[in-house]
Structure 1
Amino acid sequence: MSRRKAGIALLATVATGWALTIAVSPPATAQPPPASTFAAPDHCAAQCFDVLPPGANGNATLAEILANRTLGIRPKHSADQLGKYANLAGGYPGLTNEQLSTFFNTAAFGVPADQVESTTSPRSDVTIVRDKTLGMPHIYGTTRSGTEFGAGYAAAQDRLWLMDLFRHVGRGQLTPFAGGAPANRALEQTFWAAAPYTEADLQAQIDRVASAGPAGQQALQDVTDYLAGINAYIDQSHRGRYFPGEYVLTGHVDAITNAGEIEPFKATDLVAIASVVGALFGAGGGGEVQSALVLLAAQNAFGAQAGQRAWAAFREQNDPEAVLTLHDGQAFPYAASPAQATGVALPDAGTVTDEPIVHDPTGSAGTQQVGPAPAGDPRPSGASPELESLRGIFDRGVLPADLLSRPHGMSNALVVSGAHGQNGNPVAVFGPQTGYFAPQLLILQELQGPGISARGASFAGVSMYVQLGRGVDYAWSATSANQDIIDTYAVPLCRPDGGPVTRDSEYYLFHGQCVAMERLERRNEWQPTLADGTAKGAYTLRALRTKYGVVRNRGTVGGKPVAFTTLRSTYLHEVDSIIGFQQFNNPDVVRSAADFQRAANNISYTFNWFYADAEDIAYFNSGSNPVRPSTVDPNLPVLAEPANEWLGWNPTTNTASYTPFAQHPNSINQDYYISWNNKQAEQYTAAGFGNGSVHRGDLLDDRVKSLVDSGVPVTPAALTRAMAEAALVDLRAEQVLPELLRVIDAAPVTDPALANAVSQLRAWQAAGSLRRETTPGSHNYTHADAIRVLDAWWPLLVRAAFEPGLGSPLYTELTRAVQVDEPPSDTHGTTPHKGSSFQYGWWSYVDKDLRAVLGEQVSGGLDRRYCGGGLLTQCRQVLLDSLAKAVATPAKQVYPGDADCSAGDQWCADTIIHRPMGGITQNKIGWQNRPTFQQVVHFPTHRPTS
């Protein structure tokens, strides 16, 4: 029997044997109102575009999941933006304004009458119109309450299962909900370690916003109405049996009787989701213990003073060669190490250990494996072998294990002022890079109602407002900023009885008193997913919380036991940002660039915000930046005592004094702005290591500057071409390979194999350093062998150039602080196929060191010359020797293969794979290093400002 016939037979079995009466969506009204009924002011004049792959529809019934898995059929509108997005990689050369709609959706307000696919009125004061092209919801409320009800209803229509996953992740309870797969366990453990919250903590955030004046009260009402819409859809879809099929596959609803529950959403669920979003994209800092371990290793290698210099050189806090978003000389001092720091608490060598999160494991969480599901198993009864097999799609987990543990600095922005833009108007190409998932974390929507007028993207489950998108006559977007809002404290441990203190004590000194740590626990149990022997198990997640934050490590300082805690300024305050997002959506609040900046200042997450209308562009860096004592070093652990605390800090509410508006990097009408998670401005210190002379932000800055300097007005298509080309460039090849070749060119290369490799690398670099297919769809790169050689060479040359001079212990600690490489295949990391590349690596170190070896003056150079002991001839030999190893490394070793790609398949190793978060999968697409949701905007007109 053919696969198709077998699939059809299986679907028939599902439909008849289980008596499933599944509708794809609730019935639509028969006669939609005329489009003019929902007309809203729109100054874009068909010059605004966006794209959010793979598609608007992120829900699938059980029958649709079966059809996808057996026949390859996907639900309507679940993949119709993927081709547009993918094809830009091959179609950007020669792109014109008229061709933008080939690769992007029109982002105009409203739906033309002939493009209405469905019209639903889940309540009398709201209408949801879905268009034929995307199936995205355009929500029109005659009341504000109705608008928010419709937003919740539409969100549940498009992402109910994903929203449910994230409210459980935010409580550290993913495994009881979705099963104990190792990835699920790793994810909930990571989140619980960083943001353990009690229900009282979640409710307190809601209460605090509600007390924040009229805007806070309106936000609470918006949340209430939004929840009502979600729950109305849950109730209707459950009764009508068109709810997501994952609820059956995970045992929450019985496939035959429809018995079971999809729990209603409540306000604290939205706080839990918001806390996940904040942890993913809106926080910076917290690496102070690893920074201290680098410093200790450096001092052990070179001595106290020389070690301090080495640490500072590799830290690159304020590198003078770093690419800047604000490049007009503006300085915004923040978070740099003081000249004479006090209170630094370096751990004693070899004493640092991680705080355990998992306790009392049993079953699959421990060592015991169980057999087939026992009698009385709560999974749906009467399930066929086909359904049991389908449940196996969750064996690897429903969410990526490293969703929260991997850095998420991925978004970008290119914004050109009206002085250089087409027709004297600003032009912007910008968007967030939230990772590639099926369905997406973001949803696309239009909201029109009293006090709300916006279209764009929002995180599923907190989509009361458009978070990134466009308004009546303006557009905005964000990139992760990563400035340091997390500090690490070395908290002295104690015993209430005054006896000898050990490192495992759960008591600590706070303002002279020995007090107990707060123990926060979750007991999670899960059942087998399959009847054929998948293990069940349980464990307790435990976090210990102090006034100085959550315990992450233990060790000794000066021989005395301490707990190393992390204190984040947004901890217990994730929901505070709702006010800023509310204002972004209100056309009466945002009428100018300055208005937008003031609204962005109400957002406590660390984001770079970009704005464009018909007249102005603007930038503002948001975040609750705590004010520290002038002698406290935020880059290292500090002793937990009053003298080192944030100014104005209230330990009960975790509030403090924060830097005022003027001290946040901000600007209006600079000639252009770029951002790719790079340094914001002079003296504004980023968290972490390696933000120096080479950064992927250079790929944007070089191209946009060239457009602006040309004197030719920058069109939306030209700016899109610049972004799309940068998205295919190998940063190492464009920015560092020239220095590598200059060192090698110091003498003739006599070995034929090496000479050939050098020639190939030179040709690739001269051709643009692009990882681009020979022809679209060929699945083969032009300059493929040069790409293979550099992929193999980079980690080899870094180790060969630096480890001898640093010594293995220091080299190892530095690689833990910043990874050596992040190519598209990311075989050296833990997340292949993720798209975002070249954010974290040693390219700046290599660049500075090679220029020093070549005899150049290097501004902000390293503490010494490393490659070949600083001698050109020896450095050249180091590079040649490592290059020889790279040339001899076969493709099957460079690209070892995985569950999705065969070993040696270079193009496949680079591909982007939308990681399934439910039952629907997506096709691979070629690598592009660009935002997930992206806008192209050019407003020709603007409302009067007064």
Structure 2
Amino acid sequence: MSRIAALAAAAFALSAAPAAADDYAATARNIIPSGQYGSVPPAPGADAQALMYDGLTPLFDQVTDADLLSKFKSEQFGLGEDGPGTVEAIPRAGVTVVRDRFNVPHITGGSRDDVTWAMGWILGEDRGLLLAQARDAARLAAIDAPNIDAFGLVVDLKQFTPTKQVDAIIQRDGDAALKSAGAAGAAVRHDIDVYLEGLNAKLKADGGTRPWTRVDIYAANAITGQIFGQGGGDEARRSEFLSSLRKRYGATKGQGIFDDLSEFDDPDSPATMSKAFPYGKAIGIGKGNAVLDAGSFKPVGPKGLARAASAHPRWTSNFLLVGASRSATGHPLFVGGPQIGYTYPGLTLEADISYPGVQARGATAPGFAGNILIGRGQDYAWSLTSAGSDLIDNYVETLCGGSKTKYVFKGKCLKMGTLDAGTIKGSGRVKFNTTVHGPVTGYAKVGGKTVAVSRKRASYGKDILWQLGFRDLTTGKVNSATALRDAMSTSPFTFNVGYADDRDIAMYSAGKLPKRDPRVDPRLPTKGTGQYEWKGFLSKAQHPFQVNPPSGTLVNWNNRPAPKWGAADDNWSYGSVQRVRMLNDGLAKTPTHTLATVTSAMNAAATQDLRSVALTPVITELLKAAPSPSPRATRMLAILNEWRAGGSSRLDRDLDGVIDAGPGPAIWDAFYPRLAKVALPIKGLDALIGKDSGTASDFTDGGFWYIEKDLERLNGAKLKQPFNMRYCGNGQKAKCAAAVWKALDAVPGDPDALRVDATKERIAFRPGLLPTTIRFTNRPSGIQQVISFSGHRPR
């Protein structure tokens, strides 16, 4: 009883006290739509943040200061306006946990160990269901089980039972990685052990029988990296596509088309930074490359799950950083967060932590032992976007000895290793071969001869090193933009890190990125004979990094981080149009900004249709070159222009189940597939870039960037680097215009009567445990911060 009384007194003191004296934030707000709760059935109020989040959507570009207070909750340290709090009794002396009205835990400890232990306890309490479902599947990410989407197993509620061999490998690699990091690695290892004590104490209290181990923590970091922190590894399929192009169009033209479509280094592609950072060089089919015969690659894996690498990775998240020179307050403005989908329980959860010398708050995640993933310290904030830079390569292994399990490496015939990983219930055994490069993902043919294809990931076995930088961010060791770069240069995963304090904005693009043999084109598989291995890794100075650019902004929506930065082989979307354009257009409307106007730019772009924004004026100009085939085609073009003039939004403000804009969205939805067919008639491309150019892909698929660039050239626009080939109408403007008119005229129905069912675009929280749905919006979901600082610790 005395302990409960003491906790109650502490809770009262926290709820009554003002923000800590060393909190330098002038404004600090955030929102996590999935919320803090994780129980089933969902607790009352589990959708409170989802409803606030949904309330911002219909405001479009008219967000006010008052809206920041009502549509985001506080991210100040301590309970503040979100009190009074409820004390939570936990079985560790020296730490106090108080829950606010959103169930967010405010953790105060006498030491880092106190707080780390409590974060483990809270993880078990708030994400016990997620932990139970994900812990074993995450191991498949850690070992790079070929052609299996580990997170897909989690969402689909599929059960995986690992073998002891898998755990031994993950334990060995994770421990070795931390040992290689010296004192910093030892500190993370200590944090993990303390975190596990707290987590296992909670699981035991709830009747759990299988304690978590370091292996689980290593695997949790690996699956996060697999979802959001890697790029490349699709060279095999891309080379098959090249083979088909060369066969269909001839070697020279086929190569020219491949060079156009791969968008490796397009100077017309929008970049976040103004400073160039060269990475990679496209040389064609290099001496160190192997090109697979078209249609020959056969992936390995359990029946029903075996598939080639994803054609369209999860490139998500955005941040808008506005520098002091364009801020009404004279201090930088920060609006940003990760887009990690919408799930319940959420993949992230929040923590506000305090112990002597340290204060931090933001989103954490399973495997983050005492650390904040995205959030803020006393005088700085940070966020991430997936960079998708190229840290994975396919190697073509020459087979020998008349066997599919023997291969040539450095002049010797070696036997492949075998890994029996375990069983996926309902799908079968996960068992695969390995080479010196990594898991064998499948078999194919080169010049009619069978070869094996393996996968080498630069971050393999080093996943846990991702925690090093976040430990520095959480503990306040980062006190400048340069210190941010130093901290995040340890990341094995590839992310763009946005940063702001009271003076500077900055971005650093992280990842363990290999330097390739100059005889290897990074877009194609590498010969695995041992002659063309990696030549080390990029240094910290070679990674994109910029502070306070001349434009006064750093804006990223998974677009190219810097000029000259080569795209990963699985990313063919670094074209002349990317969705970051909508964010930049929003910021360009105002020379001087407030947090409300920056949030307005983000929120408007979240419901805009990029096809309407980018393609409508280009097509309108093009169609002047040929007569309209019908009055209804003319009317449809007029409707498309009316929609663009009105903002190109897909909003359903009145919740009547129909997009407010009228027929415009419906016309574009029906028109785009027809347009793509006539403007980009390249067979097999859809399999690599996806067919859906709209909301289902959040405007990242479908190839609209190719169409825009090709048609702009026909319209006479000056491009920094035109395509090698002509596509629509074979470069004849009138012919192209006539084909596009015909495609528009083929949209069925009365143009003025067409509508889009907005209910089909509403967002549901997977896998369906939370019944609440929200309007379509394309904005940060793991956490979104709206923050600015007016002061700083002594520098």
Same structural fold, with TM-score higher than 0.5 when normalized by the shorter chain? yes
Question: Is the 8 Å Cα contact of residues 56 and 77 (structure 1) preserved in structure 2?
Answer: no
Question: Is the 8 Å Cα contact of residues 172 and 188 (structure 1) preserved in structure 2?
Answer: no
Show the counterpart of 1:390: none
Question: Is the 8 Å Cα contact of residues 518 and 544 (structure 1) preserved in structure 2?
Answer: yes
Show the counterpart of 1:911: 762
Render the CA deviation track for 1:68-110: whole Å, top value 9, x for unaligned.
xxxxxx4034211011111111134432223301111110001
Show the counterpart of 1:680: 561
Q: Which amino acid aligns with 1:787?
A: P
Q: Which moved more, 1:427-436 or 1:165-174?
A: 165-174
Q: How does 1:895-910 map to 2 (within 5 A)?
A: 906-910=757-761
Show the counterpart of 1:694: 577
Whole-angstrom CA distance in 1 between matches of 2:159 and 2:436:
21
Q: How does 1:215-294 map to 2 (within 5 A)?
A: 215-238=184-207, 261-294=208-241
Question: Is the 8 Å Cα contact of residues 429 and 935 (structure 1) preserved in structure 2?
Answer: yes
Local SS of the residue matching 2:792 = coil
In the TM superposition, residue 716 of structure 1 has moved relative to its aligned partner by 0.3
Please point out which of 11, 26, 29 is paired with 1:49.
29
Please point out which of 414, 421, 445 is paired with 1:522.
421
In the TM superposition, residue 403 of structure 1 has moved relative to its aligned partner by 13
Q: How does 1:112-191 map to 2 (within 5 A)?
A: 112=80, 114-132=83-101, 134-172=102-140, 184=153
* Structure 2: runs of 5 or more not aligned: 143-149
Render the CA deviation track for 1:615-642: whole Å, top value 9, x for unaligned.
1111101000112122221110111123
In the TM superposition, residue 556 of structure 1 has moved relative to its aligned partner by 2.2
Show the counterpart of 2:13: 35
Local SS of the residue matching 2:258 = helix
Render the CA deviation track for 1:444-501: whole Å, top value 9, x for unaligned.
1112225642101122343530011000110000100011111111111122xxxxx2
In the TM superposition, residue 231 of structure 1 has moved relative to its aligned partner by 0.9
Whole-angstrom CA distance in 2 between matches of 1:594 and 1:475:
14
Please point out which of 672, 676, 696 is paired with 1:794.
672
Residue 860 (1) aligns with residue 721 (2): yes
Q: How does 1:502-651 map to 2 (within 5 A)?
A: 505-524=404-423, 526=425, 537=426, 539-587=428-476, 589-647=477-535
Q: Which amino acid aligns with 2:343?
A: F
Structure 1 moving runs of 4+ over 6 Å? 185-193, 401-405, 889-892
Residue 201 (1) aligns with residue 145 (2): no
Local SS of the residue matching 1:922 = strand
In the TM superposition, residue 350 of structure 1 has moved relative to its aligned partner by 3.9
Q: Which amino acid aligns with 2:314?
A: H
Q: For the structure 1 residues 581 and 315, does the alpha-carbon distance in structure 2 shift closer, same or farther, using more than 3 Å as the test? A: same
Q: Which amino acid aligns with 1:57?
A: Y
Residue 931 (1) aligns with residue 780 (2): yes
Whole-angstrom CA distance in 1 between matches of 2:446 and 2:574:
29
Local SS of the residue matching 2:487 = helix
Q: For the structure 1 residues 304 and 538, does the alpha-carbon distance in structure 2 shift closer, same or farther, using more than 3 Å as the test? A: closer
Question: Is the 8 Å Cα contact of residues 760 and 783 (structure 1) preserved in structure 2?
Answer: no
Render the CA deviation track for 1:372-407: whole Å, top value 9, x for unaligned.
xxxxxxxxxxxxxxxxxxxxxxxxxxxxx9998862
Local SS of the residue matching 2:576 = coil
Local SS of the residue matching 1:916 = coil
Render the CA deviation track for 1:735-774: whole Å, top value 9, x for unaligned.
011111222233453522222212211110111111122x
Q: Which moved more, 1:408-417 or 1:159-168?
A: 159-168
Q: For the structure 1 residues 404 and 456, does the alpha-carbon distance in structure 2 shift closer, same or farther, using more than 3 Å as the test? A: farther
Question: Is the 8 Å Cα contact of residues 659 and 756 (structure 2) preserved in structure 1?
Answer: no
Q: Which amino acid aligns with 2:279?
A: Y
Q: Which amino acid aligns with 1:621?
A: S
Q: For the structure 1 residues 763 and 112, does the alpha-carbon distance in structure 2 shift closer, same or farther, using more than 3 Å as the test? A: closer
Whole-angstrom CA distance in 2 between matches of 1:674 and 1:761:
28
Residue 764 (1) aligns with residue 626 (2): no
Local SS of the residue matching 2:758 = helix
Q: Which amino acid aligns with 1:820?
A: K
Q: Which amino acid aligns with 1:109?
A: F
Whole-angstrom CA distance in 2 between matches of 1:700 and 1:402:
33
Root mean square deviation, CA, Å: 3.0
Show the counterpart of 1:80: 48
Question: Is the 8 Å Cα contact of residues 28 and 118 (structure 1) preserved in structure 2?
Answer: no
Q: For the structure 1 residues 448 and 307, does the alpha-carbon distance in structure 2 shift closer, same or farther, using more than 3 Å as the test? A: same
Residue 842 (1) aligns with residue 692 (2): no
Local SS of the residue matching 1:478 = strand
Show the counterpart of 1:830: none
In the TM superposition, residue 871 of structure 1 has moved relative to its aligned partner by 2.1
Which is higher, the Rg of structure 1 or of structure 2? 1
Residue 820 (1) aligns with residue 691 (2): yes
Q: For the structure 1 residues 484 and 28, does the alpha-carbon distance in structure 2 shift closer, same or farther, using more than 3 Å as the test? A: farther
Whole-angstrom CA distance in 1 between matches of 2:200 and 2:154:
28
Local SS of the residue matching 1:331 = coil
Show the counterpart of 2:293: 348
Whole-angstrom CA distance in 2 between matches of 1:548 and 1:889:
58
In the TM superposition, residue 351 of structure 1 has moved relative to its aligned partner by 2.6
Residue 714 (1) aligns with residue 659 (2): no
Local SS of the residue matching 2:408 = strand
Q: How does 1:340-419 map to 2 (within 5 A)?
A: 341-355=286-300, 357-358=301-302, 407-419=313-325
Render the CA deviation track for 1:179-205: whole Å, top value 9, x for unaligned.
xx9974997999999xx9443233431
Q: Which amino acid aligns with 2:33?
A: P
In the TM superposition, residue 305 of structure 1 has moved relative to its aligned partner by 1.7
Show the counterpart of 2:145: none
Show the counterpart of 1:442: 348
Q: Percent identity?
A: 30
Render the CA deviation track for 1:410-467: whole Å, top value 9, x for unaligned.
1001001111112210001010001111111011111222564210112234353001
Local SS of the residue matching 2:66 = helix
Q: Which amino acid aligns with 2:290?
A: A
Question: Is the 8 Å Cα contact of residues 494 and 507 (structure 1) preserved in structure 2?
Answer: yes
Whole-angstrom CA distance in 1 between matches of 2:409 and 2:397:
8
Q: For the structure 1 residues 28 and 354, does the alpha-carbon distance in structure 2 shift closer, same or farther, using more than 3 Å as the test? A: farther
Q: For the structure 1 residues 407 and 473, does the alpha-carbon distance in structure 2 shift closer, same or farther, using more than 3 Å as the test? A: same
Render the CA deviation track for 1:489-525: whole Å, top value 9, x for unaligned.
1111122xxxxx25xx112122222222121123427
In the TM superposition, residue 887 of structure 1 has moved relative to its aligned partner by 3.1
Whole-angstrom CA distance in 2 between matches of 1:923 and 1:33:
31
Whole-angstrom CA distance in 2 between matches of 1:431 and 1:213:
31
